[in-house]
């Protein structure tokens, strides 16, 4: 079952404080686990990022996140109906505006977005449904959306654009299994993920 996200951090305590405040502790039951990293981020764009709901006062929410230490980020998104920010260590995340498809909460973590090419989408969707024990609730040209239950407020969204794999992913999914081998593995798209028991 998908139980969390592992995030590499140069300053574990600072990143933990930032994300706890950024999500207001609302992570849909998923744990954000920060692990020490020796090197700063080097990739232009992460292959996994988080989406937060901006709510009806999304402009105030963006201002709040900037005051917490986020910065505006340009990853080539162009003119889009959401705001792209970066956490204190440069990991991009999105603040979704009201009316964004599939958003079931007004604040906190609402989506985990995994870059997947159109060719890899069927294999990745099948793989993550089996690993996460989440189920497909939508499938469109833009990608596939999985949820633990239809009413869950957090979804796993897989779709383009897919960033090239430049190095080990700084954000990785974490699944918990009752038995079997624990450790770090690769999904069909070459993304690292963690298995705990």
- pLDDT tens, N- to C-terminus, the chain (197 residues): 999 999 999 999 999 999 999 999 999 999 999 999 999 988 889 999 999 999 999 999 999 999 999 999 988 777 888 999 999 999 999 999 998 888 999 999 999 999 999 999 999 999 999 999 999 999 988 899 999 999 999 999 999 888 888 889 999 999 999 998 999 999 999 999 999 99
Domain that residue 163 falls in: 2-196
Place of tokens 């869950």: 152
Compute the distance between CA of residue 60 and CA of residue 194 in angstroms, rounded to an integer: 35
In this prediction, residue 44 carries a pLDDT of: 84
Q: State the total domains in the chain.
A: 1
**Residue 118 backbone dihedrals phi, psi, to 5 degrees:** -60, -35
User: What pTM does this model have?
Assistant: 0.95
CATH number, domain of 88, equals: 3.10.180.10
**Separation of alpha carbons 197 and 147, rounded Å:** 21
Separation between Cα atoms, residue 38 and residue 79, nearest integer Å: 35
Measured between alpha carbons, how far is 21 from 35 in angstroms, rounded to an integer? Answer: 18
């Amino acid at each position: 079952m998908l139980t969390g996200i592992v995030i590499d951090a140069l300053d574990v305590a600072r990143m933990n404080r930032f994300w706890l405040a950024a999500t207001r502790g609302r992570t849909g039951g998923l744990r954000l686990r920060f692990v020490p990293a020796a090197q700063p981020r080097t990739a232009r764009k992460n292959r996994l990022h988080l989406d937060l709901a901006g709510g009806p006062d999304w402009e105030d929410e963006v201002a709040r996140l900037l005051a917490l230490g986020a910065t505006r980020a340009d990853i080539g998104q162009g003119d889009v109906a959401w705001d792209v920010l970066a956490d204190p260590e440069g990991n991009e995340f999105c603040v979704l505006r009201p009316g964004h498809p599939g958003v079931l909460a007004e604040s906190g973590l609402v989506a985990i977005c995994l870059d997947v090419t159109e060719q890899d989408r069927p294999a990745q969707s099948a793989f993550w449904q089996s690993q996460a024990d989440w189920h497909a609730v939508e499938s469109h040209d833009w990608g596939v959306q999985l949820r633990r239950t239809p009413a869950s407020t957090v979804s796993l969204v897989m779709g383009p654009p897919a960033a090239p794999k430049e190095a080990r992913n700084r954000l990785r999914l974490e699944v918990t299994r009752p038995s079997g081998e624990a450790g770090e593995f690769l999904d069909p798209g070459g993304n690292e993920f963690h298995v705990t028991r």
